[in-house]
Structure 1
Amino acid sequence: MAQTKVLVADDDPNVREIIRLYFEKQMIDLVVATDGREALEVMEKEMPDVVILDVMMPQMDGFEVCREIRKKWDTPIIMLTAKDEEFDRVLGLELGADDYVTKPFSPRELVARIRAILRRMQPKVKVEEEVLRPLVFDQLTIDLDKREIMAAGEKVSFRPKEFDLLVQLAKSPGSVLSREQLLEQVWGFDYFGDARTIDVHIKKIRQRLDKLPYECIHTVWGIGYKFGVDD
């Protein structure tokens, strides 16, 4: 198995050294950047498997770097923040980050999150042919085999977790699914984040399906969400 390569962008040399020492023990290939602009240069050159971005960096902060990475790549991103504030966590997720870790952190936890993200990215084995049949709802078609979505006659690009979340809801039209259920079904039991991740991804899905003449994901206040094209 190829060695995992991780880009760590942080202007604090102590943080980089702590991560380097632990990654060496875990046989993780580390590449580093000391500011936001360098992070993008290293990203282009090294093409890491996972990116870890400190929020507070010179040149470009972690949020800006995350935004730029998402314009070109789907590489998993973990944000590092010294603030345990909801705003930072939600903003990072809205910009396309996959997870976040609050400083001070345990290197062991960081490695666990990296491995959990990589496990979630592994393609699922197709067992039943029935699950490959497209899901068709009026002007919305979800092709499970090709992982493609057509909305109002146009192909719409989705990030992997957005696609999986929409499929999970569409497989049970009319059924209310809680945020916790969706986290377990789409992200898995080893996900470290909180249920607000679901809200961020639902917002993104609604934006991508804005050409539909109807709303297909409905909020059930205090519980979660349900799928339906005729509500």
Structure 2
Amino acid sequence: MNAESKSTRQVWRVLIVEDDVEIARMLGETLTENSMIVEVAESGIRMDAALRNQKFDLIVLDVMLPGENGLSICRRLRAHTNVPILMLTALGEEIDRIFGLEIGADDYMTKPFSARELTARIRALLRRTASAPEERDRSKVLRFNGWRLDPIRRQLHDPSNARVSTTMHEFDLLLAFCRNAGRVLSREELLGVTHAGLAGPIERSVDVHISRIRQKIEKDARDPVLLKTVRLGGYIFTATVEEA
């Protein structure tokens, strides 16, 4: 079964964290019309309550919220969950979009936005999630420098066997590097690997994701030895990778 046919059969649950009543209503109606189950939370506190009672497949998270803001919430969520996060904000500067990606958002949209485009981006993230378990022919656990990467469970464990949280794109990139160890991968190839092009990434998105990967797997992210930059070429993963 391919990812598209699976996604058309599954009922996706989306949590919208947005305090603007009109925007939340518009989003809820749009996603409901696209066969998704939607719940709305007006704040981080309401979001936490919703997450305790229900599992969601994706979170649409506004930045400007009463109380705890969306950037803080995103950072907090990333400490314990890999659920895809699409951030909404009225802030349009590139530095704000970069920061959103740095703290773990999978995609980013600025207000005002097209409901059709937002739905397309949400579907792209959900399709990516749905396709992950289908890679049965490439399902073996990969090991490098004491680390363990499980393609089926989509989990990363450090040398002490503690699970390390990753975003969807971070996991996809690390998996691509492990499967292509010793080969230079260009940014264009890496965008294709993550399917990020479906969600209209900004130009530096690959660099941001790789910076976050380095912070997790390198002893010194400022002087990486496993995931190196190749000038004018892209990136290369230098670790020896073995199948478990």
Identify whether the pair has TM-score above 0.5, normalized to the shorter chain: yes
Compared with structure 1, are the counterparts of its residues 40 and 151 closer, same or farther at alpha carbon in structure 2 (3 Å cutoff)? closer
Counterpart of 1:96?
Answer: 104
TM-superposition CA deviations, 1:107-166 (whole Å, max 9, x none): 1111111111010012243464xx455655565565656656566565552525323212
Between the aligned partners of 2:156 and 2:31, the Cα distance in structure 1 is: 39
State which structure, 1 or 2, has the greater radius of gyration over its C-alpha atoms. Answer: 1
Q: Which has the higher contact order (CA 8 A, sep 6+)?
A: 2
Q: Please state how far the C-alpha of 1:99 moved relative to its aligned partner.
A: 0.6
Structure 1 partner of 2:6: none
Instruction: List per-residue Cα deviations over 1:71-106 (Å, max 9, x = no partner).
Output: 332211110011221122111112211111111011
1:194 aligns with 2:206: no
Counterpart AA for 1:6: V
Aligned mates of 1:23, 1:214 — CA distance in 2? 42
Across the two proteins, how many residue pairs are aligned to each other?
228
Change (3 A) 1:16 1:146: closer
AA paired with 2:70? Answer: G
Q: Which runs of 5+ in 1 are unaligned?
A: none
Q: CA deviation at 1:195?
A: 4.0
Aligned-residue CA RMSD in angstroms?
A: 2.9
Tell me the residue number matched to 2:129. Answer: 121
- Whether 2:183 is the aligned partner of 1:175: answer yes
| CA shift for structure 1 position 41 | 2.1
Q: Paired residue for 2:215?
A: 207
1:8 counterpart (11, 16, 24): 16
In 1, the alpha carbon distance for the partners of 2:13 and 2:140 equals 36
Q: Deviations over 1:9-34 (max 9, x none)?
A: 22211211222332232232221122
1:161-207 per-position Cα deviation (integer Å, ceiling 9, x unaligned): 32321221233333222212101012255232234222222122212
Secondary structure at the aligned position of 2:91 is classed as coil
Rounded to whole Å, the distance in 1 between the matches of 2:47 and 2:193 is: 33
CA contact (8 A) 2:89 2:110 kept: yes
